[in-house]
Amino acid sequence: MTVRYLEDFSPGQIYGSGRLTLDAERIKRFAEEFDPQPFHLDEAAARNTIFKGLAASGWHTAALTMRLLVQGELRPAGGIVGAGFDEFRWPKPVRPGDELKVESEILEVRPSKSRPDQGIVKVRTATLNQNGEAVQINVGNLIVLRRPR
Amino acid sequence: MTVRYLEDFSPGQIYGSGRLTLDAERIKRFAEEFDPQPFHLDEAAARNTIFKGLAASGWHTAALTMRLLVQGELRPAGGIVGAGFDEFRWPKPVRPGDELKVESEILEVRPSKSRPDQGIVKVRTATLNQNGEAVQINVGNLIVLRRPR
């Protein structure tokens, strides 16, 4: 798959990804390193928390979303480089056994005023589970290279 | 350290954290699993990218920020559970050898209208490097339990 320059993106385009499945073992391993809280570490302890059962750290969901994006259809020139997000939320927890995929919709494309070789692509990315429910939604601003003249 | 209920938080409070140092080995290991792009994987390949040298994945910075928060002074009752962010950005890259810490400022505290046992605490969290430069800034909404009556 070839890369896409700023000029190749336009609002309304939708890009997909492969899928990956998360198990309890990986949820716990990530949490031990980065988010050691009972609801991410232990099934029994998780039952009496707001999550009412083991759930992946939101940062684990975010990191896996990134992997799906990097290996997915988007392929912006210069790589997937995010400047930040206008919106970012986790509407539902990710549970052991969930299968995730991402869908990205291009919302806006604009050349940079200060950097003639690059621009900003605003993308809405939804991370969906096997039931089509969104477990993460964000609207991010990617830095994308312009086509060399 | 005891936990803090919704009633214990008020705007203007500032909470700190310990520190941790990131090396090139860990930057690459995280990237191999979650963000396999040249600027996070290999010093030489990173030189010709927008980062002009090896840089940590933003998701690695986010995950380490979470660890500093969980082990830091904030300690909300029910754990650190984020509903989402109003703002989220990475003003500067994290480099090998950087030492990170976080500072969280309480911006707003409000009881939930639908859930009498909980509320929302709006927090601005800055992740700072050893030069005091912000490498990540976010404004998040935490779900915090109210003090039991």
**DSSP character string of A109-145:** EEE-SS-TTEEEEEEEEEEE-TTS-EEEEEEEEEEEE
Reported ipTM: the value is 0.96
Distance from CA of A103 to the nearest CA of B (A): 17
Nearest CA in chain A to B92: A83
pLDDT tens track for B48-97: 999 999 999 999 999 999 999 999 999 999 999 998 999 999 999 999 99
Q: Which residue of A has its CA nearest to B38?
A: A79
Flag whether the pTM goes above 0.90.
Answer: yes
A81 lies within 8 A of chain B by CB: yes
Provide CB contacts within 8 A for A103, sequence distance 6+: A14, A15, A16, A17, A125, A126, A128
Candidates B66, B67, B86, B87, partner chain A, best to mutate (most A CBs within 10 A): B66
Question: What tens digit of pLDDT does each residue of A79-93 get?
Answer: 999 989 999 999 999
CA A146 – CA A7 distance, rounded (Å): 7
Tracing tokens 């990710």 back to the chain, one arrives at A94
End-to-end CA distance of chain B: 21
